[in-house]
Amino acid sequence: MLRLFGSATALILFGVACGDGDRASLATPTLAYNGSMPFPAVIGEAIVLTPVVSGTLGRYRVSPALPAGLSIDERSGVISGTPRTASGPETFVVSALGAGVRVTYPLVLSVTEPPHGLSYISPVTATVGVALAPLSPSISGAADHFAVSPILPRGILLDSSSGILSGTPTEASGLAPYTVTANSLAGSTRFILLLTVRPAPSGAMPRDGPARRGPRRGQVLPLPSQNLPASGTESSGSIHAGGVLTHD
């Protein structure tokens, strides 16, 4: 992909003859580059930045040196090339000579590495009611946003900023693929995560503790001596020797 910005323009302004002759005068030239600030270059994508000028300019210079892969044409002021390394927003002062004066323009340029190589530990097996250990993505380049499709099993969430998967699943689901996408202005990358959610173990104890049940039919329970009826009988059962109540 080739990115083109600006257009070469050279306007020569002629003065009106006056006074003692038809002497022409040139207006002070100006220099600029079109595009957003900072200009968003991307590793591996060729760019062409053409200056917009008024007057006649030449002998272009830039300071400090442009990012690796980019260069400036000293005659036209065109900045071109294919960036090879990432760099944050930085100001590069472009200068040119015209009409006996040197004009400058502060060009702010950043080079972004598009996200690539996204991956997670996969496949993943989770269990209902058990917190999933956070899964962090492995990725190269810069990503601004993460998304997943289809929707993850209930209780499991994807952090859209960091790409971390976490949570406690609330229902079982079979093995299924989930496509996680990392995006930025420079590009995007995807990874297919395989995820299974197993049912809770059959012997798992409910959060509220074991359910309380009454005595089973025929079950023998010890009867506290202090609660024995004075008559030695109980409407719901029979008192046997040893203070034991048997439910019929």
Q: What confidence score (pLDDT) does residue 96 get?
A: 95
Parallel, antiparallel or unpaired: strands 165-167 and 156-158:
antiparallel
Backbone torsions φ then ψ of 30, nearest 5 degrees: -130, 160
- Tell me, which fold does domain 2-112 have in CATH? Immunoglobulin-like (2.60.40)
The residue ranges of every structural domain in the chain are 2-112, 116-198
| Closest-CA residue to 126 (of 179, 167, 158, 88) | 167
What value does the CA radius of gyration of the chain take, rounded to a whole number of Å?
39
Q: What confidence score (pLDDT) does residue 55 get?
A: 87
> Per the structure block, which two tokens stand in for 44?
């591996």
CATH code of 116-198, in short, is 2.60.40.10
Q: Is-same-fold flag (2-112; 116-198)? A: yes
Question: pLDDT 10s digit of each residue in the chain, 248 long?
Answer: 555 555 433 333 333 334 444 444 457 899 999 887 889 899 999 999 999 998 889 999 999 999 999 999 999 999 999 999 999 899 999 999 988 899 999 999 999 999 999 999 999 999 999 999 999 999 999 899 999 999 999 999 999 999 999 999 999 999 999 999 999 988 999 999 999 999 998 866 545 444 455 555 555 555 455 544 444 434 334 333 444 344 44
> Per the structure block, which two tokens stand in for 170?
């609330």
21 DSSP assignment:
B
Residues shown for the chain: 248
